[in-house]
Amino acid sequence: MANCSAAAERCFFQVAIAIPLDRLFDYLPPSDYLAETVKPGVRVLVPFGKGRKVGLLMAICSDSAVDNTRLKAVEQILDDEPILSGPDICFLQWISHYYHYPLGEVLANALPTALRQGKPARLDSQTSYVLSELGSVTPMEQLKRAPKQQALLNLFHNHGGAISSTALSAFKPALQTLLAKGFLQPISTVPINDNPGTGTHLIANPEQQIAINTISAALGHFSVFLLEGVTGSGKTEVYMQVISAALAKGLQVLVLLPEISLTPQLELRFRQRFSAPIVTFHSKLSDKQRLGAWLSIQRGTANIMLGTRSAFFTPLAKPGLIILDEEHDTSFKQQEGLRFSARDAAIARGKHLGIPVLLGSATPSLESLFNVGRQRYQLLPLSTRAGNASEPVLQLLDIRNKKMQSGLSEQLLALIQDTLAQNQQVLLFINRRGYAPVQICHGCGWVARCRYCDANMVIHAAERRLRCHHCGSEQPLTPLCPACNTGELQALGMGTERIEQTLTQVFADKKLVRLDKDTTKRKGALEDYLQCIRDGDADIILGTQMLAKGHHFPNVTLVAILDIDSSLFSIDYRAEEKLAQLIIQVAGRAGRADMPGRVILQTRHPQHPLLLTLLNRGYRAYAQAALAERIQAQLPPYTHQALFRAEANNITAPQLFLTALSGLINRHNSQGISVFGPVSAPMARRAGQFRFQLLLQSRSRKDLHQVLDQILAGLGELKEARSIKWSLDVDPVDLY
């Protein structure tokens, strides 16, 4: 083997480094380097500036454009084998190019923290647990007051053997308790195959069977499917049978969900079904756990990865299928750093890897329905609800000139009363946390504003504080108006906390659970509340939109959305789509076969076309009408957008920058893409920063990206860029 550094032909390492510069850095090989032992895709430790950094080797080439005397040598090669394969790197390069984000930073997004820090890519032997003698003789009923512990013990009974700690990450508190009680005991093993699955399929109905057959037949080549099924139509059963088909071919499956809180339930169902090793991946895992999950998928020791957006880039040893559930959910769009859409990127990844992508939703995004119309995606409908469950009834409640009590009309209060009297649960949504969104002085009209944002301070009564929901600044509640020094301060408007107060007074004998960012801050609090609701320990469930995601509450028969009007006239053109999806999703949360759900929408606009179409003709009719409007208005998905944002601590610099940028664009804009702005962001000042934006739009994605490619090269030299912070959002979903 030729020793490259000594040989006549020199060679150079091209290394990607996680800094906001979209270029590679050339290095000399390490002193002990032997050619052909090192392949692209390994991590290298390199001197960089004053310190050292972990980079990824992209290529080994025979020359360098940099003056060779300035080159430093790679200090250490960190991996024996590439941690990313050729196709993976190729896909990440595509991502870097499409989102105009530096390759080194894209790579950093794709690696777990431990690998980014240069820790060894090694799977530690892990602790596993087995039933103790005591645990195997303890009757399950003994734990009926502790459902989580009971579920865990049950898992061990069904499984019969050892289960690894990684596989039990969702049961951490219960695991500790059962260990303390002596029902379980730890054993140390090499990584084991967690094998509790029974593999029993349900009998699929005809539509499910068509979906299963179609997707299974597509394994091995690229195609996109949109599985459109209402809650309870059996999407998960389709997922599981398609996963089975992939597993049978020795392939891996990546399953993405919008929210962490949805992973435990699905993980449990998967574990009951599959004998193949399953790993989860999301931001609540420790660095070590994430490394373990990532490596076991990268090496192929696990076959199924279940995770959130942060799991998206995990390399698959034997790629088989990507499933993205609740594809309409905007949580799949990352809102800072690498602003990618996991949904869109999943399609691109499927294409790169030559594997099918399965999108699922009861309320597909307009983009996906548009792509079905263009025959890019194949629609697989599931129209039958399992078990003859009847459709929930959607009903508008006109609250114009109606007497209201804390945002609740008397009619709604009466309906709540009736429902509670029948020992059924009530679910109430209001998308505003805190006590009240405005504090106003009745004497002089003064309103509590945030010092740093263009926003009102929100009253948090229990903590006796005013808080800004945009920057987090706080101050104590004062009894006197700071402007006129009288005691005329009043709370205006409704938040979850205030409605909770009213409801606990009106229904004093009923148990209320409030679910919002404030009540679920504690780790595991959300899961505890959800379990409490499922166990029937709550009569009234009150919360923000976080309640609408995925969870099903069969004993809820009355659902009300209290404040839909704020979304009906929003400046954000996607607000209506989100509201329509929320209404239908919420309707799916409620009821079961013998107790159909009822959904009440309080509104002052009962004639609004969105509401009429949605209620009378359903989601698909709404979507069709909305798509027709998008054509008319020349909005996505009929056009493509890219949004430049700029912010600074003064009001002029961002505008100057965007104006200069606009000029630069127009000099390169032979394609005739539209440029709107600069305009101030909907919230012009946030956390002390003045924010402006420039929107680019074109009917041709190619033209748009061509212009972006041209201007981004010269953007660094723009002197106006020096004093501000800017970012580019390709395919923005929120124009804030």
Partner DNA sequence: AGCACGCCGACT
Partner DNA sequence: GTCGGCGTGCTC
Which listed range, 43-51, 296-304, 412-420, 429-437, lies at the site for DNA (CB under 7 A)?
43-51
Please report, for the chain, how many H helices and E strands are present, in that order: 21, 32
Choose between 70 and 521: whose C-beta lies nearer to DNA: 70
Decide: is 717 part of the binding site for DNA (CB under 7 A).
no
Residue number with CB closer to DNA (61 or 484):
61
* DSSP per-residue codes, 280-307: EE-TTS-HHHHHHHHHHHHHTS--EEEE
Stretch that binds DNA, among 40-48, 137-145, 210-218, 559-567 (CB under 7 A): 40-48
> Is 471 labelled as part of a ligand binding site?
yes
* Amino acid letter for position 604: R
Length of the chain: 736
Between 23 and 523, name the residue whose CB sits nearer to DNA: 23
With a CB cutoff of 8 Å and minimum separation 6, the contacts of 164 are: 126, 127, 128, 189, 191, 192, 194
Nearest-5° Cα angle at 711, 705 to 715: 135
Least Å from the CB of residue 20 to DNA: 4
| Residue 61 in marked binding region | no
User: From the CB of 33, what's the least distance to DNA, in Å?
Assistant: 14
Binding DNA (rule: CB under 7 A), the pick from 145, 374, 403, 722 is 722
Q: Are 583 and 614 in contact (CB under 8 A)?
A: yes
Applying CB under 7 A, among 4, 16, 22, 27 the residue interacting with DNA is 27
SS3 569: coil
Task: Tell whether residue 71 is a contact of DNA (CB under 7 A).
Answer: yes
Nearest 5°: CA angle at 14, between 11 and 19? 155
Verify binding: residue 736, DNA, rule CB under 7 A: no
Residue with Cβ nearer DNA (392 or 654): 654
> Whose Cβ is closer to DNA: residue 66's or residue 651's?
66
Contact 238, 214 (CB under 8 A): no
SS3 683: strand
Of 62-70, 423-431, 568-576, 607-615, which part binds DNA (CB under 7 A)? 62-70
In the complex, the smallest distance separating the C-beta of residue 40 from DNA, rounded to whole angstroms, is 16
Cα–Cα distance, 41 to 43 (Å, whole number)? 7
Residue type, 290: R
Between residues 105 and 500, which has the closer beta carbon with respect to DNA? 105
Q: Provide, rounded to whole angstroms, the least separation between the CB of residue 341 and DNA.
A: 22
Question: Whose Cβ is closer to DNA: residue 50's or residue 521's?
Answer: 50
Residue 51 in the binding site for DNA (CB under 7 A) = yes
Residue of the chain from 48, 94, 452, 573 that contacts DNA (CB under 7 A): 48
Least separation, in Å, of the C-beta of 50 and DNA? 4
Cβ proximity to DNA: between 17 and 494 the closer is 17
Q: Is 532 one of the annotated binding-site residues?
A: no
Binding status of residue 19 toward DNA by CB under 7 A: yes
Cis peptide before 637 (omega within 30 of 0): yes
Binding residue for DNA, selected from 8, 36, 50, 190, defined by CB under 7 A: 50
Task: Give me the amino acid identity at 273.
Answer: R
Stretch that binds DNA, among 13-21, 346-354, 398-406, 565-573 (CB under 7 A): 13-21
Distance CA 608, CA 616 (A): 12
Among 154, 185, 710, 723, binds DNA (CB under 7 A): 723
Check binding of 187 to DNA (CB under 7 A): no
Close Cβ partners of 418 (under 8 Å, ≥ 6 residues apart): none
Span of 70-78, 445-453, 493-501, 576-584 interacting with DNA by CB under 7 A: 70-78
Nearest to 250 by CA among 304, 315, 305: 304
Q: Does 72 bind DNA (CB under 7 A)?
A: yes
Residues in Cβ contact with 331 at an 8 Å cutoff, skipping those fewer than 6 apart: 258, 259, 308, 309
- Give the residues across from 290 on adjacent strands: none
Asked if 615 and 394 count as a contact pair (C-beta separation under 8 A), the reply is: yes
- Reading the block at residue 696, the tokens are 């680019």
Q: Which is nearer to DNA, 47 or 120 (CB)?
A: 47
Burial level of 422, CB count in 10 A (0-12/13-18/19+)? exposed
713 binds DNA, rule: CB under 7 A: no
Residue (23 or 144) nearer to DNA, CB? 23
- DSSP secondary structure, 259-275, as one string: -GGGHHHHHHHHHHH--
CB of 722 to DNA, least distance (A): 4
H/E/C letters for each residue in 152-220? HHHHHHHHCCCEECHHHHHHHHHHHHHHHHCCEEEEEECCCCCCCCCCCCCCCCHHHHHHHHHHHHHCC
User: How many residues sit in the footprint of DNA (CB under 7 A)?
Assistant: 20
Q: Is 441 annotated as contributing to ligand binding?
A: yes
Q: Are strands 319-325 and 356-361 parallel, antiparallel or unpaired?
A: parallel
Q: Are 499 and 408 in contact (CB under 8 A)?
A: yes
Q: Give min distance, CB of 71 to DNA, in A.
A: 4
Distance CA 588, CA 561 (A): 13
48/573 with CB nearer DNA: 48
Of 26, 79, 539, 647, which one interacts with DNA (CB under 7 A)?
Answer: 26
| Rounded distance between C-alpha atoms, residue 720 and residue 723, angstroms | 7
Instruction: Out of 34, 59, 61, 66, point to the residue binding DNA (CB under 7 A).
Output: 66
437 preceded by a cis bond (ω within 30 of 0):
no
Q: Which of 70, 145, 374, 522 binds DNA (CB under 7 A)?
A: 70
Q: How far is the CB of 12 from DNA (least distance, A)?
A: 8
Out of 6, 9, 36, 49, name the contact with DNA by CB under 7 A. Answer: 49
- Which of 1, 6, 8, 20 binds DNA (CB under 7 A)? It is 20
Stretch that binds DNA, among 47-55, 383-391, 478-486, 594-602 (CB under 7 A): 47-55
Choices 18-26, 271-279, 408-416, 705-713; region in contact with DNA by CB under 7 A? 18-26
Distance of closest approach, residue 17 Cβ to DNA, in angstroms = 8
Site residues (CB under 7 A) for DNA? 19-21, 23, 25-27, 46-51, 64, 66, 70-72, 722-723
| Annotated binding-site positions for Zn(2+) | 441, 444, 450, 453, 468, 471, 481, 484
| Annotated binding-site positions | 441, 444, 450, 453, 468, 471, 481, 484
